[in-house]
Structure 1
Amino acid sequence: MLLDDSYNANVGSMTAAVQVLAEMPGYRVLVVGDMAELGAESEACHIQVGEAAKAAGIDRVLSVGKQSHAISTASSVGEHFSDKTALIARLKSLIAEQQVITILVKGSRSAAMEEVVRALQENGTC
């Protein structure tokens, strides 16, 4: 199952999305890009989302972007990627490994996370 919430992100919407993902069936993967316009609080906000993912029992966190590495690190189950191509390849391998998987894609508009969603949909992966 693919949940596309890629258009906007802030701490509140990210943590709410994590809670939704936690209720979904199968292996749960949170795919995140940066949250924009957070100023001096950016790192702390990204860490907060990672901690929420950890507390919710999310199985894997994949991140891409300059700031989102803090999410994957704080989650304790994260992997950070320097580009979306590598992230998409990793997602496809996770999909192939799991019988039931739920993927939630989220990030600020500037992170253009819809590219990840589109890549999965175009290849018939999700």
Structure 2
Amino acid sequence: PVPGRLRAQPGMNESLLVDDSYNANPASVQAAIDWLATQTSRQVLILGDMAELGEQSERLHATVGKAARDAGIDCLFSVGPLSVAAASHFGPGASHYESMDQLINAVQSIIQPGDTVLVKGSRSAGMERVVSALQSDHELTEGGKAHVG
């Protein structure tokens, strides 16, 4: 599988980490949600901004947040100024972060064995940083920072 395109790999805390960070538009996010919803484990969607949507940006981010909720996704974590609409329309179980570091620390603190964690966002959102931080060779230190162990 090509890195960043629905690529499954071992995640931290014995989770399954799915890297779909190569790019994002409403159709590809919906496809990722549809796939994640088929997983029998706890489903964690990590969403970065979808770029280049113009005037429809807020509405389209809201739509994917609602779609994730309607699909039964357990948790949504978002980062970036556009994806706040996704978190607000997902409702309870969603968290939005202003910075990538805040998002990474928050997600690392909740991942449990068996979780399926899917990372999605436009190339410009830099979501590969999240994927790197959540891989199985990273562990939380007492300070909450990830290190290779």
Q: Is the structural similarity TM-score above 0.5?
A: yes
* Bigger proportion of residues as strand: 2
The amino acid across from 2:95 in the alignment is E
1:100-125 deviation digits (Å, cap 9, x = unpaired): 20000000000010000011125158
The residue that corresponds to 2:134 in the other structure is 120
The amino acid across from 1:81 in the alignment is Y
Moved more, 8-17 or 21-30: 21-30
Indicate the percent of aligned positions where both proteins have the same amino acid: 49
1:45-67 deviation digits (Å, cap 9, x = unpaired): 00110010010010100000010
Is the contact between residue 31 and residue 103 of structure 1 (CA under 8 Å) also seen in structure 2?
yes
The residue that corresponds to 2:143 in the other structure is none
Q: Choose which of 77, 88, 92 in structure 1 pairs with 2:104.
A: 88
The within-5 A match list for 1:50-89 is: 50-76=65-91, 77-89=93-105
The residue that corresponds to 1:108 in the other structure is 122
Larger-Rg structure: 2
Is the contact between residue 29 and residue 60 of structure 1 (CA under 8 Å) also seen in structure 2?
yes
Unaligned runs of 5+ in 1: none
RMSD: 1.2
Aligned residues: 123
| Counterpart secondary structure, 1:36 | coil
Unaligned runs of 5+ in 2: 1-15, 141-149
The residue that corresponds to 1:42 in the other structure is 57
The normalised TM-score by structure 1 is 0.93
* Bigger proportion of residues as helix: 1
The amino acid across from 2:119 in the alignment is V
Moved over 2 A (4+): none
| Counterpart secondary structure, 1:62 | strand
